[in-house]
Every structure is written in C-alpha cells, then in structure tokens.
C-alpha cells in the first residue's frame, strides 16, 4: 500500500487537491483510502465518500491535533492495509505552523496557496520545510510573476522538494502530481517509524484544563517572554 501524509495550512486547498488526485487514481482503477484529521468539525469525509473511496474521520476535539494524529495514524495505516487499499492518504491541517505530521521514509506532501502571502513559506516550520513534495494551489488567481516569486520563496526554505502547481478547481497539474504518488512509499505498517521532526511540547497546567490566568496557576512546561 502506498501511503502519503498530506498537510498544509487551513484553507490552502488540501481537500480539493486530494479530490482531483483521487479522480486521476480512479481513472487508473486504484483502490483508495483517505483519513481525514480535523479539530472540531468536518464534512470533507462526505466529499470523499461521494467519490467512492474508503474514509475514516478523526476529530481531535480538546486535544492537540498533531499529537492526536500521531497517536492514531498507526491504526489508520493498519485499517487501510486490511481493507486492501492500494493508496492511503492522510489529510491534516498544520494549525500552529511548528507542528508537522511528516514521518521519516513516508512520502510527505505540503499544500500551500499563492494567496497566503510571500512571507508565509518562512513562517511554516517542518510541515513545509521537511516535505518531499510541495503543492502550490490557487495559481489561476494570481499572475505568472507572483507564482514565480512565491515558488522561489518556497524553494528557499525547502530546496530539496519537488514543487508543483496544481489547480484544485480545474485539476490542472493533478494528473502530474498523481504520477509522483505512484512512487510513494510502499508499506504495510508504521511500526518502528519515527516522525521527521519532534512536535511542539505541551505539558502544563493549561493542558489539564486550567483556565485561570496568573503565575500561581502555572505549572509544568512553562516559558516566559523576555519583557
């Protein structure tokens, strides 16, 4: 089973890109599974189900979404394998820019859009900087020059990645992206695998439900600003 982690800032077009990729994979008669991670609510699972692919949805609720991702992804991979998926795609949003779901030896894709501003590539951490493939979306809305400037900014922070422009609406570039997915990591299980980068730490009183503000309520992993 080919497994890929797809991540990217909220509203960058991850779901649209994946839907276009699914269409291209289905044209090649592949069996596909998608695991959609989100926080509070998502209806994207219905969009995937409509395409006739297997879907699992995970909502992290009150937990850190990326910690939730890493505690569940192994069972998701086993689920995909047991259901004879030829491709399994995990979709998760990077919400704090410092977290990243990417796993060593597993093809990692980051989706980022041209409208997010030229400083965005450097603001995003390992989710973008350690990805193997960077997909840039919404290119039809901006000019050629802006697309080039944006791509060069992405290249600056992740020179080793393959950078592709994909249009999530028309599907331009999706076929080409899919041909890269054919070479994605082929695995049966995530046992023994490690994350590409540590996740941001949390372990303080606020993690455990504290709501009061003030030094006396702060325990655990706390860091103070230099003021």
Partner 1 sequence: MKLMKDTALLHKSMAEILVDHPYIEDFLTSFGLVVKPSVDSLQDYLATLDPDNLEDLGINEEQLRQSLNGFLDGMLALSDPMDKVESLTIIGGHDKSGKAETLELTLKPGEVICIVGPTGSGKSRLLADIEWVAQGDTPTGRQILINNQVPDSKWRFSTEYKLVAQLSQNMNFVMDLSAEEFIRMHAESRLVTDPEEKVTQILKQANELAGEPFAPDTPVTSLSGGQSRALMIADMAILSKSPIALIDEIENAGIDRKKALALLIKEEKIILMATHDPILALMGDRRLVIKNGGIDKIIESSEAERKNLASLEELDNKLLALRNRIRTGDTLENI
The residues binding partner 1 (CB under 8 A) are 27, 98, 100, 114-115, 117-118, 121-122, 125-126, 129-130, 139-146, 148-149, 151-153, 155-160, 162-164, 170, 172-173, 175-176, 179, 197-198
Task: Write the burial class of residue 94 (CB in 10 Å: 0-12 exposed, 13-18 middle, 19+ buried).
Answer: buried
Nearest distance in Å: CB 97, partner 1: 8
Give the position of tokens 């590539």: 121
Q: Please identify, using beta-carbon distances, which residue of 13 and 173 lies nearer to partner 1.
A: 173
Nearest distance in Å: CB 137, partner 1: 13
Q: Please identify, using beta-carbon distances, which residue of 58 and 139 lies nearer to partner 1.
A: 139
Between CA 11 and CA 210 the distance in angstroms is 30
Nearest distance in Å: CB 90, partner 1: 20
Contact partners, residue 35, CB within 8 Å, separation at least 6? 55, 56, 57, 58, 73, 76, 80, 88, 89, 90, 91
Q: Look at residues 11, 138, 3, 2 and name the one whose alpha carbon lies nearest to residue 73.
A: 3
Contact partners, residue 143, CB within 8 Å, separation at least 6? none
Strand 87-93 and strand 32-38: pairing?
A: parallel
Q: Please identify, using beta-carbon distances, which residue of 71 and 143 lies nearer to partner 1.
A: 143
Q: Please identify, using beta-carbon distances, which residue of 57 and 147 lies nearer to partner 1.
A: 147
Nearest distance in Å: CB 141, partner 1: 6
The three-class DSSP label of residue 122 is helix
Nearest distance in Å: CB 147, partner 1: 8
Q: Please identify, using beta-carbon distances, which residue of 149 and 194 lies nearer to partner 1.
A: 149
């Amino acid at each position: 089973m080919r497994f890929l982690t797809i991540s990217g800032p909220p509203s960058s077009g991850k779901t649209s890109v994946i839907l276009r990729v699914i269409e291209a994979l289905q044209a090649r008669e592949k069996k596909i599974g998608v695991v959609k991670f989100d926080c509070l609510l998502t209806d994207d699972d219905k969009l995937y189900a409509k395409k006739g692919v297997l879907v699992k949805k995970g909502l992290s609720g009150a937990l850190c979404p990326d910690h939730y991702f890493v505690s569940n992804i192994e069972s998701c991979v086993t689920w995909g394998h047991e259901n004879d998926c030829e491709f399994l795609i995990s979709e998760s949003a990077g919400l704090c820019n410092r977290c990243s779901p990417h796993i060593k030896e597993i093809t990692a894709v980051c989706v980022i859009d041209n409208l997010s501003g030229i400083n965005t590539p450097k603001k995003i951490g390992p989710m973008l900087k350690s990805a193997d493939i960077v997909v840039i979306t919404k290119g039809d809305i901006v000019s050629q020059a802006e697309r080039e400037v944006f791509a060069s900014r992405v290249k600056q922070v992740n020179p080793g990645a393959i950078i592709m422009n994909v249009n999530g609406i028309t599907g331009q570039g999706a076929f080409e992206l899919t041909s890269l997915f054919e070479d994605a990591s082929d695995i049966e299980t995530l046992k023994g695998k490690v994350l590409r980068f540590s996740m941001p730490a949390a372990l303080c009183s606020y993690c455990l439900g504290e709501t009061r503000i003030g030094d006396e309520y702060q325990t655990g992993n706390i860091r103070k600003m230099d003021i």
